[in-house]
Structure 1
Amino acid sequence: MHVLVIGGGISGLAAAHQLLALGARVTVLEAGSRLGGKLLTGSVAGAAAVDLGAESLLARRPEAVELARAVGLGGQLQPPSVAGGAIWTRGAVRAMPRGHLMGVPGDPAALGGVLSPEGLARIAEDGRLPRTEVGDDVSVGGHVARRLGREVVDRLVEPLLGGVYAGDAYRISMRAAVPQLFEAVREERSLLAAVRAVQDRAAARPAPAGPVFMGIEGGVGRLPLAVAEACAAQGADIRLNTPVRELRRVAPGGGGPGWLAVTDHEALSADGVVLTAPAPAAARLLAPHAPAAATALDEVEYASMALVTLAFRRSEADRIPDGSGFLVPPVDGRAIKAATFSAHKWSWVAAQDPSLFVLRTSLGRYGEERMLERDDAELVELSLRDLRAATGLDARPVDSVVSRWDRGLPQYPVGHLDRVAAVRAAVGAVPGLAVAGAPYEGVGVPACVAGGRRAAHDVLESAGSADPADEDARQR
């Protein structure tokens, strides 16, 4: 059986890897000039390798780490060298308060210095408020603000969720982003009790072995390239600069392949298609075959962001504090939303050139698209200004690299999981077709790998069930 995988990001490559393991013949079609999607390595200061996209893998979800080991990167997996986060707020870089769940506190006593006395007093009202019904879904920020006050959202929840989704906490779905808290909120009378219930359940389970996060020596951006190399070694045909302009269902007769993917130069036939393109491109290709899915995907919004990687002489970066970096609440009015001290966080970064100190900042959130309209030099200067204010760093970098991720992160507003369910139902009604990627699975690498594997199984299970006589009924 021949399957086309449309999209060469980590979801598509994971799907291709799984399809090959299941005995399929695979062609990967990537519209751009490189593989890997949001996973990308580059260099700064001449030779120092750095991640210019995602830099770590959630190791408590096994899929990405398993894939790395399967393609020969097991020996290069490394945990962070330092643990614990920080937050830059109210004029100081402070340790992240303990006992929180994506910024939602379970222990108000740990919030001194981050919240004002008025904010702390507002939290105390949670136990006296009547129970808040959340229905089928609720925004994280909206519910937390009702129960604990806006200051908790603005100072704690926003920077945590912003670090993951580059989103707006007052729009992000609790059911999608923090599902365990959503379930507890439906059971408990107060939000503090719900957080503690989640923490108690976690404490009652055996602690998973190993670190929470993993990186890869040389950069997480090596992962998709290693997967592609493994796929090619098993006979996969991987093509760059090959956008798919149209998907066609083949008319019945002869038992031949059921799909044609029309590119600029040819029409490729296949028994099945795994579609891992971003939501707008996926919607366009799905419209003739699963119009309900296309309509739902047209509603998916994205956030844009930029990463500024800076290399300093280590002798001039001695004021950088210990730790992996810090998050920044939007309410403080800073340009950057986070800083990662890569030379502290990853031993392999520090070891490449001991004379350099490498760090990176991130700028841009949902609704801040104009941030990316600034030129590279201005983004560097904004980063340096904020780093100086946060840490006292007053040096000029020896080199800088600006990476722009336009429409890089899909947003998960209230109702997102219902939208995903609608897409899956519509696509599932079309034999030989499956979807995967961050708009459905989650923005983390393990979630995308899991989605690609699931799509591989789905497309093989459904490809043989095609009955083109039912095509008109499906479209109606």
Structure 2
Amino acid sequence: MDLQRTSPAGGAGHVAVIGGGISGLAAAHRLLAGGARVTVLEASDRLGGKLMAGEIAGAPVDLGAESMLARRPEATDLARAVGLADRLRPPAVTGAGVWSRGGLRPMPAGHVMGVPDGPAALAASGVLSADGLARIAAEEELPATEVGDDVAIGEFVARRFGREVVDRLVEPLLGGVYAGDAYRISMRAAVPQLFAAVRAHASLTEAVRAVRREIACRAQDGPVFVGIDGGVGLLPDAVAGAVRAAGGEIRTGVPVRELRRTPAAPDGSGGGWRVVTGGGTLTVDAVVLAVPAPAAARLLAAEAPGASGELTGVEYASMALVTMAFRRSDAAGLPVGTGFLLPPVEGRRIKAVTFSGHKWGWVGEGDPDLFVLRTSVGRYGEESDLALDDEDLVALSRTDLAETVGLAARPVAARVTRWDAGLPQYPVGHLDRVARVREQVAKLPGLAVCGAVYDGVGIPACIGSGRAAAEELLATLPPGGAAGGRE
């Protein structure tokens, strides 16, 4: 688990990583491998951000993100690097469903984030009406639609295929990833391969087929997603352990209050950053800012007001996860699959259900007599239910479970995990906003930003963002470090 230094003791200078989520931890891990001295500062009392392992009724379970995209390598590579290779697990079952038109339907194949490549695969699923299928079949006869520099994916797909496709497939799939509104989400930011394809093809149908061919050519053997035995929430602690083993310092419960540049020497050498916390000041050569947009905006206000203003405009969605443990005998009638999505158009209050006891073998091994599942509640623009107390959130989840899959039993235990302002929204123009932020940040030597707000909300994307920030700084840090330490 130890990181190997690639430069002499003293290394490439001292870097403060502000934020102990997976992006910041990944940045710290890479900085130490590059020879830097690293101090991680996390405002809360725990590491990991939206990754959090826990338990319910004695069974291990993730209380935050619970799977990682395996076909993008950053997350699995990091897990292997910090000693978790033998704990990587594919889902024990496959196959998800969608609650549509009053019934639980199999999730159809042949789509890109819910955007289908034609009506054939949809016809057998029953997700769409006959009129909806006919609209898809006629799409290739429509004249091309100009997309410009960006377009909301829901708006574009509705124009080509009709709203039913968006409301019953794109919305629950893509909207679920961002806890957002598909009619606002930027296609260029959220599904860049599809955005490029629709600019190159006259029809959406052919664009989706082109993306699917590209994915098939790149696809590796093995599962699309993986988890970690014991929970994806174990990854941050494993990375933190590797960081400490390599000489990095990690401090929790240390909110950063101010971030200021320090002047260079008369000969132009030196210069760095002063990081002011509630307990003192740290002077460093460089800073990785790995915090959500509101915190980043506050810390950049003095030195990069333009970037700060842009980040102030980023909106977030809140959500809650309701994890419940049932007696396995009470859950015997549930479908065997990973779970199902509930489109907002159906009027249900839960947005998704994960059958954790089916999906992850290690969850069931915690107590073979229990069956664990979780529901999600809330998304952008639909957050009123989050004002309810935990008991009422459990009750509304139970109501929807009883009315959809017939699970009316009382759970043995229940836990509610709230992720307030948990997911940044990617509306049309988001990537331009990110570019403007980075343009302003680039004017300040020794500063890099990373995290879900910039490069994607998935775990591999966040890890990749942190590593990229580290690489950026390693290329510019002074060989021996100009900064001192705590004042």
Whether the TM-score (by the shorter chain) exceeds 0.5 is yes
Partner of 1:151: 164
Aligned length: 463
Partner of 2:471: 457
1:121 alignment partner, one of 116, 134, 157: 134
CA contact (8 A) 1:432 1:464 kept: no
Partner of 1:190: 203
- Report SS of the residue matched to 1:67: helix
CA contact (8 A) 1:410 1:438 kept: yes
Q: In the alignment, does 2:27 pair up with 1:40?
A: no
Q: Percent identity?
A: 66
Q: Deviations over 1:7-54 (max 9, x none)?
A: 000000000000000000000000111100000011111x21110000
Partner of 1:178: 191
Partner of 1:245: 257
Partner of 1:162: 175
Partner of 2:9: none
Partner of 1:357: 371
Partner of 2:394: 380
CA contact (8 A) 2:69 2:224 kept: yes
CA contact (8 A) 1:338 1:362 kept: yes
Q: In the alignment, does 2:347 pair up with 1:333?
A: yes
Q: Write the distance in 1 (CA, Å) between the matches of 2:137 and 2:59.
A: 49
Q: Which amino acid aligns with 1:36?
A: G
How far off its partner does 1:464 sit? Answer: 4.3
**TM-score normalised according to structure 1 size:** 0.95
Partner of 1:224: 236
CA contact (8 A) 2:264 2:271 kept: no
How far off its partner does 1:257 sit? Answer: 5.1
Distance 1:268 1:4, change over 3 A: same
- Report SS of the residue matched to 1:137: coil
How far off its partner does 1:67 sit? Answer: 0.5
Q: Which amino acid aligns with 2:16?
A: L
Partner of 1:407: 421
Counterpart mapping for 1:316-331 below 5 A:
316-331=330-345
Partner of 1:85: 96
CA contact (8 A) 2:71 2:219 kept: no
| Structure 1 runs (4+) greater than 3 angstroms displaced | 254-257, 462-465
Q: Which amino acid aligns with 2:94?
A: A
Q: Deviations over 1:237-286 (max 9, x none)?
A: 11111111101111222745511100112110100000001101101111
CA contact (8 A) 1:139 1:413 kept: yes
How far off its partner does 1:107 sit? Answer: 2.5
Q: Write the distance in 2 (CA, Å) between the matches of 1:319 and 1:107.
A: 33
Partner of 1:61: 72
- Report SS of the residue matched to 1:292: helix
What is the RMSD of the two structures over their aligned residues, measured on CA atoms?
Answer: 1.3
**TM-score normalised according to structure 2 size:** 0.93
How far off its partner does 1:189 sit? Answer: 1.0
Partner of 2:119: 108
Q: In the alignment, does 2:18 pair up with 1:6?
A: yes
Q: Write the distance in 1 (CA, Å) between the matches of 2:55 and 2:289.
A: 31
Deviates more, 1:170-179 or 1:253-262: 253-262
Q: Write the distance in 2 (CA, Å) between the matches of 1:257 and 1:25.
A: 16
Q: Write the distance in 2 (CA, Å) between the matches of 1:373 and 1:257.
A: 47
Q: Deviations over 1:448-468 (max 9, x none)?
A: 111111101112223449xxx
Q: Deviations over 1:279-309 (max 9, x none)?
A: 0110111122222211111111111000000
Deviates more, 1:255-264 or 1:432-441: 255-264
Partner of 1:142: 155
Structure 1, unaligned stretches of length 5 or more?
A: 466-476
Deviates more, 1:300-309 or 1:287-296: 287-296
CA contact (8 A) 1:82 1:344 kept: yes
Q: Deviations over 1:362-390 (max 9, x none)?
A: 01110122221111011101111111111
Q: Which amino acid aligns with 1:247?
A: L
Q: Which amino acid aligns with 1:118?
A: D
- Report SS of the residue matched to 1:462: coil
Counterpart mapping for 1:64-75 below 5 A:
64-75=75-86
